Amino acid sequence: MLPAHLFIVFGATGDLMQRKLLPALYDMLLQDGAQSTYAILGVSRSKLTDEAFREQARASLVEFAGLSEETAQSFCAQSLYYQCLGDQEADDFQTLAARVQELEQRHDLPGNRAIYLSLPPQAFEPTINNLGRCGLNESPGWTRLVIEKPFGRDLATAQALNEVVHRHYREDQVYRIDHYLGKETVKNLLVFRFGNALFEPLWNRDHVERVDIMVTEALGVGTRAGYYDRSGALRDMIQNHLTQLFTLVAMEPPASTEANAIRYEKIKVLESTMPIHAERDVVFGQYTDGTVEGTAIPGYLDSEGVPGDSQTETYAALRLHVNNWRWQGVPFVLQTGKAMPRRLTRVSVTFRRPPVRLFQSDNDCYLASNVLHLTIQPDEGVALNFEVKVPEQGYRVQTHQLSFDYADIFGHVPDAYRTLLEDVVKGDQTLFVHEREVMESWNLYTPLLENGPAPHPYPAGSWGPSEANSLIQDAPIQS
């Protein structure tokens, strides 16, 4: 059962709240069944009443959570409140603090507070400072601060933001959220590796040839072009999502499943990762016009809000090397891009081929490697490619696949945000990013932001620029 709490969301009228957080909060609280021991307070600059905010939320729950009008209206009337913050002046935050206390008294809540910052990055610092000044950094119960990515734009800005955070909140109060960590297959990486004696003995340089981590999107930048041009693929995807997957794949067995035991092993991976050679191990790209899944996509430079001479990368492929006993010499290739042939998030572990070729493969050149695919989206599951003999053709072999699909076995898979919000309320930081992870990650990538390669053009609907072939040519096919 979840503890009684007040969930406060800054940016409550924004897209993330309407599409993801509201449905996740409803689902979390529905599963818990504790409908009299919580309240949700939306905070934004929009001048709304409680009733107007509830009406907006009701429409969102009907559209994005599939609720009936009656169910959505009942949930909103019982649970949702709203506070306008105006221009974020100190007096506004004092009024907010008073409203928080009033709601806790009304619902007989013990002072447990989760504060979610669904805000533009530039609003993090003033908001956190004002929360501290008005006393919303502590309470009679627990107080937890949830911060959306990106946490800084480079090492220096991340350090500065972290200093602001720790001026008012302890590290054990801070939940830096990366929604990829809430996905079932990401969490299953730990179980798959450390719960199966079949795979863990093979999870090292003696048996693994390479590891590929791919996150591709079929869409272009669309209406986010103005934001994206200040970010790029390295900041938007590599530094957070792909790096989190990388650390989970490469980490050593933790001493326990306690949050810090797991997070410290992830930190060790980043500390052991060698500096990246931009000229040898990095390729950036920028998509031109093309067709994706039958839809014409204009080139990135033709998107509204993008300067005609922009050098922002919409594609990034880079090779990492972990300088430790387990992974010495094994390349980890991280690849992400916009306007790719399809949406796909997958970790592929390619095992070494047999040292002696005894049998004929279908292409009569070499046996295919055994490849383990862990697909995170769109269809969560695991697949293993292996070789089998073709009947009545001597020792000719073909590659086939054993597979497991989450939806086939378990049906509905919980949304990542629901999992993470539940962990916030329970006080479990396992799936949240530690401050040292953030700093080590920015330490690794900041040199590329300051002196990275120029992007190569690639047509929308392709798998990226041909210049990346030297990094990805031996990667498993994107099928």
Catalytic residues: 241
| The amino acid at 476 | P
How do strand 5-10 and strand 113-117 relate by DSSP bridges?
Answer: parallel
d(CA 373, CA 350): 9
Quote the longest CA-to-CA distance of the chain. 83
| Nearest of 174, 125, 119 to residue 148 by alpha carbon | 119
Tally the C-alpha atoms within 13 A of residue 141's C-alpha that lie toward its C-beta.
Answer: 18
| The amino acid at 145 | L
d(CA 368, CA 363): 10
| Nearest of 73, 76, 83 to residue 115 by alpha carbon | 83
User: What SS3 state is found at 78?
Assistant: helix
- The two tokens of residue 65 are 């959570």
The distance of Cα 233 from the centroid of its chain, to the nearest Å, equals 13
d(CA 276, CA 447): 8
Could you tell me which residues come within 8 angstroms of residue 428 by beta carbon, excluding any fewer than 6 positions away?
Answer: 259
Q: Are 239 and 361 in contact (CB under 8 A)?
A: no
The distance of Cα 293 from the centroid of its chain, to the nearest Å, equals 24
DSSP assignment of 99-149, as one string? HHHHHHHHTT--S-EEEEE-S-GGGHHHHHHHHHHTTTT--SS-EEEEEPS
Q: Are 385 and 367 in contact (CB under 8 A)?
A: no
Beta bridge partners of 398: 388
Instruction: From residue 248, give the alpha-carbon distance in Å to each of 252, 315, 326, 431.
Output: 9, 23, 14, 11
CA angle, 284 as apex, 279 and 287 as ends, to 5°?
A: 155
